[in-house]
Structure formats: C-alpha cells, structure tokens
C-alpha cells in the first residue's frame, strides 16, 4: 500500500523531564528564549522549574503569558512582536493546545516576512522557523506532534495553518505537569484525544498503516485511563498513559486528518467559546451514529479495541462502539447536550452554515455531510436528553 507519514524528529517522555529543560535546549543553538504560555499556567507555578533550568543555561529567558483559549489572531501576533523586539532565537511552548499553537506560529512568523493571512491552509508557509520545543500540560490536543496550529480570526472563524515547519525540534512529555489539570478539563481534553484517534482511523483520505497502529494504541490507552484519572487526578501512571495516548493520537491524525466531529465542533468553539474538547464531546455521539451507517466495518474494528471480544455482526459491533463512547462522554461529567452548554436553538442554522465552510476537514469524513445533515446533527446534539 502506498502511503506517507511524517512526525517529529525527537520525543523525550519522562516524569520530571522538564526540570532538565535547559540541558535539552542546549543542543538547539539558541541563547535568547521566549517561553509561550497562558496566565493560568504562569500563576500555577508549573513554569518555575522549567524557567530555573532554562535560566541556568541561556543568556535570556522571557515569558509571553497572554495566550487565550482558541488563540485569537491578535494575541498570536503580540507573541510574534515580542519575539522580534527581543531578538529571540528560540521558542518554548508550554501549556495546553492553545499555548502550543501560539508558540508554533510565533516561531514561524518571527523569522519570515509572510503574513498570517498568507499561511492559512495547507503547505503555504515558506522558509525556516526558530528552534522550537513543545511541552504539553494537557493530555488532549497532541499539538506537540502535529504540523497544525488552529487560530480564531476576527470574524470568529477557526482557521488552521498546516505546514511541516510547525513540527517542533523536540516534543517533551512530562506527565507530572498534567497532575494539576482539573476534572472537567481532563475530561474535555481526554475526549478530544480520543476523537483524534477515532477520526484518524476512519479518515477517508490519507488513512495509512502507521496512523492506524497509533490510533489503536492511543484509543486503548485513553479509553483505559480516562475514568481512572477522573477518579484520581494524582494517579501518575494514569496521567502518563493519557499523555502517551494523546501524543500518539496526535501523530495519527497529523497524517490521517480528522473529519466531521471536528468540523462541527469548530463553530461551537469560535462563536460560544466552549472548550475545544467539550465541543467534540457534544458532537461525537451523533456523528458516530451518522458515520457508522456508511462504514460500520471501521467502527466495528474500534469496538474490538476498546472492548475486546465484542460479539455480533459488524453493525452490532459498530453500535457497541458508539454506545461505549457515548457512555464515556456522559460519565465524564461534561454537559450532555447543547442546551446544557447554553447554546440557543436559534443558533443552529448559523452553526451548520459555518460547519460547511470547514471543507478542509469535512472532506475526510467517511460519510458525506451536506448542510441538512449538519443542521440535523446539531439538532440531535441540542435535543438529546
């Protein structure tokens, strides 16, 4: 079978690894670093160890901590301006997906004359970026191993930059950083990671054997550990498994792109500022049932992954998988429907219209989605008990 697969050159995964960040960065030929993060992380103290370690090795270490969820363009451009002003020659992104995505674009735009508007889309970025290390503090987006950054435009559209330069030099996984993630963020980000694995495995385009293998392992780890870390947030082994799972799901979907769950989630995030993972969790059960009609075989294979020994026909197994994912979403404690998430029913037609613009992702979905389908899926997500 012909396929292509690209990923980061180096991954370091070890609880406590962030304490040695300075030594790790030494090999990247930079002296003036900018650490990109958000204010919550800065206040939590999670930065203290990494900053101490970096300051012992570098000439200058500055912090940009104004990152916001679903990063607005203006904030990202502020990070770029700071990097330019301070003649920064290396970027460390430390935080959830929002911080990592901001760090990626800062590393790129700090040293190319291109404008943000010119690089939205696939493969449009030119030239080099600054040396880049990405350190996730949520087990969710997998952004540390994807060539993707998702920003929010002034017209409240979530847009993606996809370019090989956005893969970092080093992805550093330190599960200790994720011990403090509160339960609802743990649930939302964990389900986001599972959706990455599911949508990569069922992607209509670029599905490939490496992505499949990673999606399967990711789903097993995430499904097996989400409820454990929700019950006990300081379960380090469980947190490590979640972080490994989200990273592998990231590698998987970086090469076999996600579909309709994400396409329908984006407008919810852009217009109503719901967390990205929650948007996915709200749409997942409905899109799974819709998609399983077209490719029950794929969802039946995933049933074997999460519930080995599942019996029945392909259709029955696909239904078992859909029901299991719905159960997990419900038991995670997140809002169960768009009503609980305070989305007015009158907004659904506009949301469906916006979802249809996410052609970059809809084209990967195993079943075609037209406007009426999108509206129907939002209506189901609104009405479900």
Ligand X SMILES: NC(=O)c1ccc[n+]([C@@H]2O[C@H](COP(=O)([O-])OP(=O)(O)OC[C@H]3O[C@@H](n4cnc5c(N)ncnc54)[C@H](O)[C@@H]3O)[C@@H](O)[C@H]2O)c1
Min CB(29)–ligand X separation in Å: 25
What distance in Å separates the CA atoms of residue 290 and residue 368, rounded to the nearest whole number?
10
174 touches Fe ion by CB under 5 A: no
101 touches Fe ion by CB under 5 A: no
134 binds, among ligand X, Fe ion, none (CB under 5 to 8 A by kind): none
What distance in Å separates the CA atoms of residue 240 and residue 263, rounded to the nearest whole number?
29
Instruction: List 150's β-bridge partners, or say none.
Output: 160
CB closer to Fe ion out of 192 and 301: 192
Cα-based distances in Å from 69 to 139, 184, 233, 373: 15, 15, 22, 28
Cα-based distances in Å from 155 to 113, 150, 183: 24, 14, 31
181 binds, among ligand X, Fe ion, none (CB under 5 to 8 A by kind): ligand X
Residue labelled with tokens 């789903």: 219
225 binds, among Fe ion, ligand X, none (CB under 5 to 8 A by kind): none
**Of the ranges 23-31, 101-109, 191-199, 340-348, which one interacts with Fe ion (CB under 5 A)?**
191-199
What residues make contact with ligand X under the rule CB under 6 A? 38, 40-41, 44, 46, 69-70, 95-99, 101, 137-138, 140-143, 146, 148-150, 177-178, 180-181, 185, 189, 192, 276-277
What distance in Å separates the CA atoms of residue 103 and residue 264, rounded to the nearest whole number?
25
**Of the ranges 120-128, 148-156, 190-198, 354-362, which one interacts with Fe ion (CB under 5 A)?**
190-198
192 touches Fe ion by CB under 5 A: yes
Min CB(33)–ligand X separation in Å: 20
CB closer to ligand X out of 261 and 300: 261
354 touches Fe ion by CB under 5 A: no
Min CB(181)–ligand X separation in Å: 4
Residue labelled with tokens 């992104």: 93
CB closer to ligand X out of 130 and 145: 145
CB closer to ligand X out of 140 and 366: 140
The residue ranges that bind Fe ion (CB under 5 A) are 192
């Amino acid at each position: 079978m012909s396929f292509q697969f690209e990923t980061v050159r180096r991954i370091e995964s070890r609880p406590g690894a962030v304490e040695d960040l300075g030594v790790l960065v030494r090999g990247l030929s930079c002296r003036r670093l900018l650490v990109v993060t958000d204010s919550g992380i800065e206040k939590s103290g999670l930065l203290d160890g990494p900053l101490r370690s970096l300051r012992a090795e570098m000439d200058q270490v500055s912090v940009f901590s104004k990152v916001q969820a679903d990063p607005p363009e203006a904030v990202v451009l502020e990070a770029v301006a700071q990097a330019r002003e301070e003649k920064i020659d290396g970027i460390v992104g430390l935080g959830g997906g929002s911080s990592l995505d901001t760090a990626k674009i800062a590393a790129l735009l700090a040293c190319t004359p291109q404008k943000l508007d010119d690089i939205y889309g696939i493969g449009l970025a030119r030239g080099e970026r600054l040396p880049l290390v990405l350190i996730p503090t949520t087990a969710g987006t997998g952004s540390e191993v994807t060539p993707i950054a998702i920003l929010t435009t002034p017209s409240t559209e979530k847009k993606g930059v996809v370019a090989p330069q956005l893969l970092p030099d080093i992805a550093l996984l330190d599960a200790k950083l994720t011990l403090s993630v509160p339960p609802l963020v743990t649930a939302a980000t964990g389900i986001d990671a599972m959706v990455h694995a599911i949508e990569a495995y069922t992607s209509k385009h670029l599905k490939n054997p490496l992505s499949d293998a990673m999606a399967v392992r990711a789903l097993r780890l995430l499904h097996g550990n989400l409820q454990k870390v929700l019950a006990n947030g300081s379960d380090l082994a469980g947190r490590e498994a979640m972080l490994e799972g989200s990273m592998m799901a990231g590698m998987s979907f970086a090469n076999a792109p996600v579909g309709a769950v994400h396409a329908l989630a984006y407008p919810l995030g852009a217009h109503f500022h719901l967390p990205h993972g929650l948007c996915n969790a709200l749409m997942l059960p409905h899109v799974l049932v819709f998609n399983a009609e077209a490719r029950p075989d794929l969802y039946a294979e995933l049933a074997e992954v999460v519930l080995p020994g599942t019996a029945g026909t392909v259709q029955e197994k696909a239904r078992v998988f859909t029901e299991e994912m719905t159960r997990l979403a419900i038991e995670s404690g997140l809002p169960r429907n768009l009503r609980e998430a305070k989305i007015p029913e009158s907004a659904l037609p506009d949301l469906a219209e916006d979802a249809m613009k996410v052609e970059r992702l809809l084209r990967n979905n195993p079943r075609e989605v037209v406007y009426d389908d999108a509206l129907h899926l939002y209506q189901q997500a609104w009405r479900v008990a």
